[in-house]
Structure formats: C-alpha cells, structure tokens
Structure 1
Amino acid sequence: MESLGELLTQMKNTQLKQRSEELTARLFNDPLVWELRDRYPELEQEQLTRGMAKLYQYVKDSRHCANCPGLANCPNDFSGHFTKLTVEQVGGSPQLVDRQVPCPKQLQHERELSVKKRIHSFYVDERALEEGYNEVEIMAKDSLRAPAVGQLFRYIEETKESGLQTKGLYLEGPFGTGKTFLMCYLLHELAKEGYSGAIVYMPEFVEDLKSMLQDSDKLRDTVEMMKQVDLLIFDDIGAENLNPWARDHVMGAILNYRMNRKPTFYTSNYSLNALEKHLSFTSKDGEERHKGQRLMDRIAPFVDVVQVNGTNKRGRA
C-alpha cells in the first residue's frame, strides 16, 4: 500500500500547483487581508505565508458574519464566534495570532440566558418572561395605565441606583390590564442588573402545595427559594382557594422572613382591605379575622400601592 506522502507527491502535478497558486493569490489580494496588512505593516510575506490557514479562516468567518443568517444558523465552525487576528512579537519577530471571539449576537444570547437563570417562574406563562420589552411601547400601549407604568419605571431606576429596596409594590386593578406583564418587565429589567427573582401564580401554587405535602424536600426547597430570592412576586393574590396551612405556615413563613429584608410584590384584583377579608376566610375553618390581619401585617406595611387602570387586553395580540 502506498504511503500518504507518496500519494501527495504524485498529486503535485502542474494543474494542482496552478490551482494552489490561484487560491493563494486570491487570498492575499482579498480586501480583508490588505486591511490587515495596513493595520500591521510589520508583517512580512513570510509570516503571511506561514499563517495562510489562519488568514483563510479569518476571511471565511468575516464573509459569513457580513451576511449573518442569525445565531441559530451560524455557518462558522464555532457557532456564534468568529476568528479575530492580531499580531504579537514571538522570539523577536511578528507572528499572526488567531482567537475565537463571540459575536454581538452570541453575547446578547449569553446575557439573555444569564437573565433567565436568575428568574424562577411558578405556573406563569414563560412567554411573559421571554418576549422583548420596549419602554416606549409599554408606556404608550394604554394611556389609562401610564401613571402606574411611570411609578414602576421609577421603582426600577431607584433600585438600579440605590440597590435592593425593602418595600415592594402592590399592583391593584381590574382583570386584564397588564399587571402580570408589568411585573414580568420589572423582573426582567432587574435580573439584567444581577438580581434574582421569582413570580408565582397564586391559584395554582396553593393547589400544588397539597401535593408537596407528600414531598417534604420539594416543599422545603420551594419555600426556602421564595424566602431568599431578591424579588418575589405573588401574582393574582386573592384568586386562590386558601386553606389554613397554606396561609399560616407557608405564606406566613415566607413573608415573615422577607419583611424588612427583601421586597415582595403582588398583583391583585382586590384592594388591600378586600384582600384582608379574603385572607381571613378559608374553606376549612371559615372566617378567622385575626389570622387574616396577621398576614396583612406582613403585606400592607411593606408595599406601595399602584393603581393599574386600563382596558382589558386579554385575548388581544
């Protein structure tokens, strides 16, 4: 059997040599290579010839990036990255050095993944956390809720400037006015600043607590996470079918830990007074006003109420 070297020797015919010379000339005459030579005039032909593989990869990646088909369809060998060439002195002579560098789309993707990792969602549609947010659109979408949006924006800016607040917000308003959406926006914006958060849809959370009674580890981990996250949102509080254990031992324990430590947020169709009446009644023990008041003592003093007005947007695009 012939060796690879023998085969290569046989292939070194005139046609192959001509083809190789054409490719080399085309590469050295590429505008990107000329631009590189202008940037690093110390490079000589010898260094360029030795670095032909690097030059080829650099030009190929650059062409792909100039016609980027999107991160999901990146044609580069290392998806989301491109070849960056620099020149460094090695042994007293300039040498081409190639590095794989993440492109802007890859960096944005990594930032988004980082934000998502900081946010926990319990029973809330993930799309509300993943869609793009536009401040102008949020403010202009419904003029009736503009005061509430302005208050939310101020809270976000104060947190960015001064750090985590001890008081949260209580978004009160009619069904379908975008309260959950606004809370997701707050979570998303502050997650970009490095804060962790969780949003919990109360009706399903309270129902799921029943099954957690059979899984003590899951219950403990869930409660501990809700105690410790920087930003905790109880979405649609007042719509759940409360039982004494969920109210007194789960909600009570979470809020008792968080008050004066970390902000808790709420969305509700109820005013604070109406919520107290709701929390005072359970399907098992009926009305227990003092227990509802005890829980409200851990809610009302630690929130600023935000009235969210507007038209019902449920079911609209």
Structure 2
Amino acid sequence: MEDISEVITRIIKKRKLSEDGKKIAKTAIKHPSVQAFLAQNKDKLNKEIVQASLPTIFNYVEQIEAPNPVMEGYTPKLFLNGKVIDITYVPTEAKLNSEAKMRAERRIELIDLPGKLRHVELENVDSTPERDAALNEVAMFLASFKKNKHIKGLYLTGDFGVGKTYILAGLSNAIARQGSRVVFLHVPSFIASLGSHFQDNSLSDEIDRIASAPVLVFDDIGAETLSEWSRDDVLGVILQKRMDNVLPTFFSSNMTMDDLAEHFAETRNNVDEVKARRLMERVRFLSKEVFVGGKNRRN
C-alpha cells in the first residue's frame, strides 16, 4: 500500500477546508503519536478507513494537546475499531503508579503504629554513613526476596530516634510493592493488648495469624514488659513457627541481641536464662544483626 501519510494529505487537499483548516489538519496528521499509530497499522489501513476517520484523528490530537484531560487519570489512544479509527482511554503512567502504590499500602497491616508509615518510600530515607550498612542490607534483601520468599530478615539495633522504624517502614512498602503481605507491629503495645483477646477466645487465632504472615516486622522489641506466658507462649510460639517455615522476620530494637537475651531471661516473677537462650536462637536464626547509628531525629 502507498504511504498512508500521502493518502491523508490528498484527502485533506480535496476537502473544502479553509487554508487555516488545512494547516490544522496537516499539523494533526504530523503529530508523533498519530504518525506512530499510522506506521504501526499501515498494513490494515486504506483510503476509505482514513477518510472516514479524519475527524476522529483531529479530535484525538485536540485532546492530547489540551491542558486538561477529558478523563482525569486517563489519556486518549487511537485504535482500529473494525473499519474506522476510534479513540479509547487508557490509564496514565501516574495513575498506574498511584494505583500500584494504593494496592501496596493495603498489603501492609499496621498494629499499634501510625498510618503514616504506609507512605514511607526507601528512596526518601536519608543515606548517611551511619545508615549505609542497614540500607545496603535492605537492598540485598529485596533483590534476593524477588527470587526466594524464604530468607533471613534483619535485626536493626541502635539508639532512640536514629531511623530504625523508618527504614523498616520503607522496606515494608518495597516488599508490598513486590506483592507480599506485611504485618508490622509495635511489640510493647501488642504484648499489652493480648488480654483483650481472652473475652472472645481469639488469642490463638491472632497468634497464628501473625506467626503465618508472609513477612513480619517486630518494632521496638525489648521495650515490652514480659511475663513467662507472653515470652514463651506468645513470642516463643510466633518465632518458632516462623523459624520452622523460614518466613522473613525483621526486628528493630534499642538493644543489641546480647542485651535482648538478658531482657528475655528476666520476666516479672522469674529469671530463666535457658528459655531466653532458646528464644534468642530463633531470633538469631531469623535475622542478621545490623547497627544503625546517627543522631536522634526525633528531637
């Protein structure tokens, strides 16, 4: 078939258009997206289709060039609809990104933590020498997690306010973008709220639900007040199930792992180093300890 642009040019010349009209028509035909469509469909187009579709092409270019879209979040696109060229509307890249972000945010369950953590993006986490080790580990985890959903997590330790929770929030969002569900819980509040499940006998289900989460983040572990029961029958059960199934588990703490072992040994009424060591074996199996330094950003 002859060049479709030449066919269109002849059609425009034959039309009873003013000089300005012809100029507008030729400009529309030369629009890059129109040219791309014509080139892509040159074997399917003929003179009759083009002649019948010229008003649609002009309308399309007007919409493309207009400052405000016909439909917010959508952009017009030409397509061959039988024997005519027609316009459809497809989501813009910005809308697709926005929808992907909302889907990811719905995959993150926050327990006793502020909703703003759902919006933390890793690229917005300040990179400093004191944080570089943690951010590098996070990047390596994400690369590995794409291929293997059963890998070791991280244990971020450091002083108050250095950004441990913030980094793990960014990580959680990146994981959710990959399609996995994340449970992100504040350990002291979670332990304190366990009694609320006694009335409806839902505690066992809640423990199992958290233990089975594809990805689990324990925030501020070590700041909770433990009983033997909450240590052994709650944390112990959750961590054991996660260890058995090699489910990615993350921790943030103001304590090092060695300090956490001492914390686990001391409950309200007893000291039991054996059970503490057993619990720490699970923590160490599930995560790699990484120090996060820097200034207190909460001040």
Deviation at residue 312 of structure 1 after TM alignment: 1.0
Cα drift, residue 59 of structure 1: 4.0
Q: Which amino acid aligns with 1:145?
A: R
Q: Which residue of 2 is the match for residue 76 of structure 1?
A: 70
- Paired residue secondary structure (1:297): helix
Structure 1 partner of 2:281 = 297
- The alignment yields a C-alpha RMSD, in angstroms, of 3.1
2:115 to 112, 123, 126: 126
Equivalent residue in structure 2 for 1:227, among 203, 207, 211: 211
| More deviation, 257-266/120-129 | 120-129
Q: How far apart are residue 221 of structure 1 and its match?
A: 4.7
How much does 1:112 deviate? Answer: 0.7
Q: TM-score, normalised by structure 1?
A: 0.74
Residue of structure 1 in register with 2:142 after alignment: 156
Which residues of 2 match residues 1-317 of structure 1 at below 5 A?
29=25, 31-32=27-28, 35=31, 36=34, 39-40=37-38, 42=45, 44=47, 49=52, 52=55, 54-55=56-57, 58-59=60-61, 61-64=63-66, 67=67, 75-77=69-71, 79-88=72-81, 90=82, 94-134=83-123, 138-139=126-127, 142-160=128-146, 162-217=147-202, 219-261=203-245, 262-283=247-268, 285-315=269-299
Distance change (3 Å), C-alpha of 1:138 and 1:26: farther
**TM-superposition CA deviations, 1:175-224 (whole Å, max 9, x none):** 1111111111222222222222121111111122221222334x455333
Note the C-alpha offset of 1:157: 2.3
Matched with 1:6 is none
Residue aligned with 1:286, SS = coil
Distance 1:26 1:131, change over 3 A: farther
Deviations 1:34-88 (CA, angstroms, capped at 9, x unpaired): 5337853746477655674x55763454234xx46xxxxxx533x3222211225
List runs of 5+ in structure 2 lacking aligned partners: 1-16
> Which is worse superposed, 225-234 or 32-41?
32-41
TM-aligned CA deviation for residue 235 of structure 1: 0.5
Normalising to structure 2: TM-score of the pair? 0.78
Q: Distance in 1 between matches of 2:208 and 2:57?
A: 54
Q: Distance in 1 between matches of 2:143 and 2:103?
A: 20
Structure 2 Cα separation of the partners of residues 29 and 101 of structure 1: 24
Asked whether the equivalents of residues 161 and 296 of structure 2 are also in contact (C-alpha less than 8 Å), the reply is: yes
Q: 2 CA distance for matches of 1:305 and 1:255?
A: 16
Q: Which amino acid aligns with 1:130?
A: H
Structure 1 residues 304 and 38: alpha-carbon distance in aligned structure 2, compared to 1, 3 A threshold: closer
Q: Deviations over 1:114-144 (max 9, x none)?
A: 2112221112222233033327x632xx322
Asked whether the 8 Å contact 2:52–2:84 carries over to 1, the reply is no
State the SS of the aligned residue for 2:199.
Answer: coil
In structure 2, how many angstroms separate the alpha carbons of the residues matched to 1:26 and 1:224?
71
- Equivalent-residue separation in structure 2 for 1:38 and 1:197 (angstroms): 43
The alpha-carbon deviation at position 256 of structure 1 amounts to 1.2
**Contact 2:243–2:285 at 8 Å: present in 1 too?**
no
Q: 1:38 to 1:153 in 2, by over 3 A?
A: closer
Task: Report percent identity of matched pairs.
Answer: 27
Deviation of 1:148 after TM superposition, in Å, equals: 2.7
Could you tell which deviates more after superposition, 291-300 or 39-48?
39-48
Contact 2:130–2:293 (CA under 8 A) maintained in structure 1:
yes
Question: Is this contact kept in 2: 1:27–1:33, CA < 8 A?
Answer: no
- SS for the counterpart of 2:84 is strand
Query: Is the Cα contact below 8 Å between 1:123 and 1:205 reproduced in 2?
Result: yes
Kept after mapping to 1: 8 A contact 2:111/2:185: yes
